[in-house]
Every structure is written in C-alpha cells, then in structure tokens.
Chains A and B, each alone.
Chain A
Amino acid sequence: MTNSKKIRLLRLGQSVGVLIGLLVLAVILSILTPLFLTIDNLLNVALQSATYILVATGMTFVVVTGGIDLSVGSIAALAGVVMALAMKAGVNPGISVFLGLIVGIVCGLLNGLLVAKANLPPFIVTLATMSVIRGLALILTGGIPIYGFPAAFRWLGTGRVGVIPVAALISLLIAALGGLIFKKTRIGHYATAIGDNEEATRLCGINVSKYKALVYVISGLTAAMAAVIITGRLNTAEPLAGYMIEMDAVAAVVMGGTSLAGGKGSILGTTLGALLMGVMRNGLNLMSVQSNYQQLAMGAIILIAVLLDKIRGKSRA
C-alpha cells in the first residue's frame, strides 16, 4: 500500500471509529429491546439527534481552532425566547425565526470579539456569556415559559416530509452544508490552521482574529437553529431550554474525532458523534432507565468512548 493511501485510511479511521461505536451500540440495543429497531423509533432518534447535530456542527468549528463555546445552550434559550416573543407580538413566523437567528449571530459575535480582539481565553469568555445570555432569557420572560405558536412554525419541529421529520432533514442539511464549508472554504481551512499553529497561520498573512471571531458566530448561529427546532417541537419557549446542551455538543465533537487541542476535526465525525449521543439517550429511554441514572450513564459512556479513542490514537503513534 502506498504511503498516501495508508494515511488517507488512517484519517478516515477517525470517523470509522465512531461509526463502529454507533453500529455496535445499535446492535446491542436491538438485542436488549425489540422496540429499538423499528422505523418509528429510528425516526424518533433522528428527530432527537437533530439538535445535537446542529449545535455540534457549529461547535466543531470552534473546537478545531482550539477554543470552546460553553454558551450555546444559553444562546439557544435566548434565541427561542426572542422568536416566541416576536410571534406573540404578531410578527410573521418567518421573520420571527430570522430574528432568532440574528440573536444567535449577535451572541456569537460577542463571544468572538471577546476571544479574538480582547484576547481572552474562550473557556472564561463563554462561561461568562453563558450566564449573561441565560440571564437575558430569564429577564425577558420573567422566568415563565411562553407557549402556543402558529402551525407553520411548529411544523419545523414536529412536521414530516413523508415519514421523515422535518427537523431531522434540516439538521442533516445543515451538517452537510457545514461539512462543505469546513472542507472547502477559507473558514474551515483557516480555523484548522489556527488550531494547529496560530503564529504560523498569522505569518502566512491570514487575518487570524477575523477567523477566530467567525467560528463563534457560526456556533451561535447553529445554536439558534437548534432553538427553532426545540421551540417548534415543544410548542414552548423556555428560558431554561438547552440547559447542558454544550456538554452534549462537546461530547459529540470529541467522540467524532475532533481534537480538543485544535488543528484536527471533521463534521462527518461530529454528526456521527451526535447520532451516537442520540442513540444512547434513546436506548436508555427505551429500557426505561430512570433519568437520574441516565445522567450517570451518559457521562460514563462518553468517558469510555474518549478513553477508547485515546488508546486507539496511542497504538497508532
């Protein structure tokens, strides 16, 4: 085998690992419960995974620069609340969704400017904005959920095209688009280069702070997209929506083979990682594991997945 072929296989191997994990988990679940391998349930998994996929797609851009965005859950909540308030005020659902996405972009821009221009550590910046943005969502609603939206809006969260949930279609479409942007455009290439070696990237004449800021805008935007689906599905905008979703997103990104140190990543891996998260939650639900135990099990499975990946990585080095 030629050298370059071998390398291509190794690189694919990162996504193959999570794919194998996904298949193994699926086989185990279909043995443990007859309910798992039914069309209805699989479609349900796709629906449930949609928000993970959306948030994790944006998160991949951030993580590959060596950053992290802890504020995605709060952004989703605020975007959902703004959409809801707009619709309650009689604004057309389409324009309301647009406003929600703008909220995501603005929040992301705030994160990006603080990280790229003020040169603050991403962890601290987004930890702080996580709290600030959640606070805004609570203030705007007085802490009370808003519910009851036009059918056209709810369709985004609950509707189906044929048998396939609209939300699942949207998330896969965005992941595919994200994958193309990641692989084919400047932002994906430069985000990876920055995560690999920021100084070298700067010395290539690349405007590093511009791209470092942009990745947070992307992350904010995908978080707001997730908000559309969450709000539409529940027919409710909750100021506490998206709580802890940053953890699920980071877990999906890492299980998908993206390095938390930056410089390496793939949207395909992330999507598979997000599906893995969805399947895990679904499986635990099907086996009627109590929610307190679910929390524990999810954490343990993520740890095992990352440990396995580390061992795999070591044996390769």
Chain B
Amino acid sequence: MSDYILEAVEISKSFPGVQALDGACLRIRTGEVHALLGENGAGKSTLIKILFGVYQGDSGKLIVKDREFGAMMPKLAYELGMAMIPQERTLVGHMTVGENLVLGREPRGRWGALDRNAIFRMADDCLQKYEIDLDSRVTANSLGAGAQQLVELVRALMCNARVIFMDEPTSGLTEGETQILFGIIERLKKQGVAIVYITHRLEEVFRLTDRVTVLRDGKTVANLNTSETTSAELVQLMAGKAVSEEKACSVPPGEEVLLRVTGLNRGSKVKDISLTVRKGEIVGLAGLLGSGRSELLKCIFGSDQIDSGKIEVRGKEYLIRSPKNAIAAGIGFLPENRRREGLCLKMTATDNIVLAIPEKVFQYGVTNKKRRTKIAGNSARDVDFSPNYMDVECGTLSGGNQQKALLARWLSRNSDVLMLDEPTNGIDVNTKSEIHNLIRQLAAKGKGILIVSSDFPELLGLCHHIIVLRDGRITMDISNSELTESELLGYAAGQHMGA
C-alpha cells in the first residue's frame, strides 16, 4: 500500500478556448492537512470537479486507495470516502442538526417510519465521537455560519469520509469559530483523515497544513513541505512574479462631505449610525460577522428600508426608498455576493456594465450595440478590465474581473459615493492588490468610498478612516494612522469598550 490515499496524476482538461488543466498533479497522504493554493483561474475548481467526477478529464488518471480510475463518478467518489465541504452551506435550513446529519440514511423504525429517537441518538454519538459541542435538536437555520460548517463536516465524517476537501472554510467565520474549526481539523488528522485545504489566506496555510500544492495556469508548479517554505515564496509561486508590498493611502482626502448619514436606524441590526465620507476619502467599516456592516450599506442604498435617519449626498438630503433613489442621488453599491446580487451571469460584461445607466444607453427608448460598447468600454478602461472580455458571459469571468465589471458599472454612472462590501473576498493575491490600487485611484479622482471588509490588513492598508461596528452600533470612529491591526481586532471583538 502506498503512502498516498489519493493521487491525481497528469490531469488535463480543456474547455472551448481555455486549457483549464495541463498535466496537474495532486498527491494526498493519509492523515495530512494539505493546502491547495492557486489564484482564481489556476484550475483548482476544475481539478476538484474532476476528482469528484463532476467533469471528466481529457487525460490523466486518478488513484484512490491503490485503485486506479480513468474517470471518477460522483457516487463512486462518495463510496471511496471522498467528501467536499463547499464554501456555500448546503444544509436543509428547517431541519434539525440531527436530521441534516442523517439525511438520506435515516434509520427506519417499524413499518418503515422514521425513528426520530434513533436519528438523534446516531447524531449525538457522532458529535460526541469527534468532541463537537452541538445540539442535534436545533434547526440548522438557527446556527451561525461556523456551526453550520461543523455540521457539514460531521455529515461527511458520518459517511466515513477519509479525504475531506474544504473550500475557503474560514471565510465568514468569526475568530472564535475559526479556532474551533482548527482544533477539530487537528483531531481529525490524528485519526488518519486527510484534509485538502483550499484557501487564499496564507497565515492559515502555515498555521494548519503539512504540505502545499500550488497550481498556476492549470499546472502544478510546486509541491512542498509547509515547514520548508515562506509566504513570500508561495505568493510568488501562485502569481508567477513578485508582488509589490501594499502601501498605505497617500493622497489625503478633501474637505467636501460627499455622504453624510445621521441617526440611521433599522430594527436590531442598525442602531443610531452617523458617519461622513468626504471627497477622496476611503472610510472602512470594520466589525465581526453579524455586526451590521452589510445591513448598514443596504440601508443607505435603499435596498432595505430604514426606520429613521437622514441621508445626505453632497449636502442635499435624499429620501431613499429604493436602490433607484440611491443611484439617482449618486451612490453606487458593490454587494458582498457578486454572483448572487451583483451580476447577471449569462449576460456579457458590456451589458452588465451598462445595466444601471439606462438614460444614456437608451435614446428615444432604443439602444444599439455600438452605443453600449462605447459606454461600457470607456469605464472598463478606467478599471483595467480587459477589452477581450467585454463580450464574455460574466459567469465565466474570474472573481477579480467580475469585481472590475461591477466597479465599471458605477463609474459609467459617475457615482460620487461607492460602497463596497467585501470587495476582495475570494479574490487571488495578485488581483487583490490590483483592486486595492483601483480603489485608491478612484479616491484620488475624488470619489468617496465606504468599504466593508473582514480583512483587517486590507482596511489598514487602504483607509483614511476606520469605523468599527459592534451589534449594529458604532463603537469606534478613528483615523487610520492611529491604529494597529491588533487594536482594530480588539475594538471589533469588544475588548476595548470604553477605551
């Protein structure tokens, strides 16, 4: 028996116009935590889909537990003990944790009826075995993101999974939840379960993993022991060139107040929020998950209705009841979930960019391709969006390009204030710094920018001013120059209350 529980050898796969994988290899040992790194578009998702039989590779072979397969099938992968914890939760929300855990394999009582007691007994046994502190009788909806993820993990383990793929498992988790997850990963490792850990967060790679595989342009460019590499080396391997250090914002903001929010309230999520964004200023909204940051942006944008409060743009008060009002006032918004709330995925980049600017696109009620191309092209150039992608369906673009298309949308409207919710979430290192530079440039051109991010170094590197939210209230409103990362984390977690 070989050391490896799972081997993917020389896997190639091409799609029309794209060589997604070009002889990629991935070898996973029993009981190791293995990081799979690569920029967006490097071929990680394609490789995983081939491993799980969602796609068939053009060439190459898969070896699982010493058995060789030319191609995988989803059911076979499951039977071989492979499991995937996707980034998006897949629990049935209205069912209890226990029911979710045994879904599809429910124990039957007399006459084939469901045996509810046996369900919870099975679930509790398993939760105990892996020392996971969860109540099997609460509904999945009532759990936080971290707990839901643990349920998915346990579900995989109950199916005797021996190789578990986790895609960006800590995105959306609080610091506490992350620590719990890491503890469980360590325990699973001791029990011989192999974890393939897909992430963009390098500190987690060093914290957690034994070995690293780096993909670039569909090829495996490195297969290293984590202890023998550095984060600079990994970044370089992923990007294929050295990435310059992030520098803090240098252009000071102007005097004119572009956005002034006073006494904004909505239910329990947004409480008495007042803030200002000046011309050329980048204001960061920090806080933990559930602190009301995204809700605040949605209130300002009119996507959620406010209970009370005042919103002024360029000194003029606007009654904002819908996104239409906010857009007319000069506000642009990049939602947290690009794919679900931002883009029409089957439409081209051009059509997505011009979607918010009908009055220019439609003259006397009609439009033509030429006019759309011209308007979209101009703002696409401003955000370095490649002209080659203008007629490409947005669903096939990388995260970074999708984000640029969304930025271009608001630039074409010439919005004064841009609100960005997690603008670099799930975006690779290289593109991330490109987006950061874009944001700085936009500020330098006089836009006011309000940015929500869970990535504290990002906020510290970008913002003039940082506002910390906790439970829907502002707990700190401070100039960036006075802040360090640990202080910021402290404010967000509520350790420095009253400081």
Which residues of A approach B to under 8 Å, CB–CB?
A: 3-4, 6-8, 180, 184-186, 189, 192-193, 196-197, 199-207, 259, 263-264, 316-317
A200 contacts B362, CB within 8 Å? no
* A205 to B366 Cα, complex, angstroms: 19
B345 contacts A196, CB within 8 Å? yes
Cβ of A185: which chain B residues have Cβ within 8 Å of it? 362, 365-367
Q: A184-B366, A186-B358 are in contact. Are A200 and B342 (CB under 8 A)?
A: yes
* A316 to B368 Cα, complex, angstroms: 28
B327 CB within 8 Å of chain A: yes
Cβ of A6: which chain B residues have Cβ within 8 Å of it? 16-17
CB distance from B456 to the nearest CB of A (A): 27
B345 contacts A203, CB within 8 Å? no
B437 CB within 8 Å of chain A: no
B391 contacts A4, CB within 8 Å? yes
B356 contacts A204, CB within 8 Å? yes
A3 contacts B17, CB within 8 Å? yes
Given A205-B324, A205-B328, 18 more A-B residue pairs with CB atoms under 8 Å apart are A7-B391, A7-B393, A185-B362, A186-B365, A189-B351, A192-B347, A196-B346, A197-B340, A197-B343, A199-B341, A200-B340, A200-B342, A201-B355, A202-B323, A204-B356, A205-B327, A207-B324, A316-B16
* A259 to B323 Cα, complex, angstroms: 28
* Interface residues of chain A: helix, strand, loop or mixed (majority): helix
Q: Give residues 335-358 of B contacting A (CB, 8 Å).
A: 335, 340-347, 351, 355-356, 358
B279 CB within 8 Å of chain A: no
Closest to B335 in A: A203
Select one of B16, B301, B347 contacting A263, CB under 8 A. B347
* A259 to B345 Cα, complex, angstroms: 14
Q: How many residues of B contact A (CB 8 A)?
A: 36
Cβ of B327: which chain A residues have Cβ within 8 Å of it? 204-205
A203 contacts B342, CB within 8 Å? yes
Interface string of B300-327 (1 = CB under 8 A from A): 0101000000000000000000111011
Cβ of A184: which chain B residues have Cβ within 8 Å of it? 366-368
Closest to B354 in A: A189
A200 contacts B391, CB within 8 Å? no
CB distance from B247 to the nearest CB of A (A): 32
B333 CB within 8 Å of chain A: yes
B409 CB within 8 Å of chain A: yes
B268 CB within 8 Å of chain A: no
* A203 to B322 Cα, complex, angstroms: 9
CB distance from A313 to the nearest CB of B (A): 12
Q: Report, nearest first, the 9 A-B pairs whose CB atoms are least far apart.
A: A196-B344, A205-B327, A205-B324, A204-B356, A4-B391, A184-B366, A263-B346, A204-B355, A197-B344
Q: Give residues 399-431 of B contacting A (CB, 8 Å).
A: 409
Interface string of B356-395 (1 = CB under 8 A from A): 1010001001111000000000000000000010111100
* A264 to B301 Cα, complex, angstroms: 28
* A310 to B169 Cα, complex, angstroms: 34
A197 contacts B358, CB within 8 Å? no
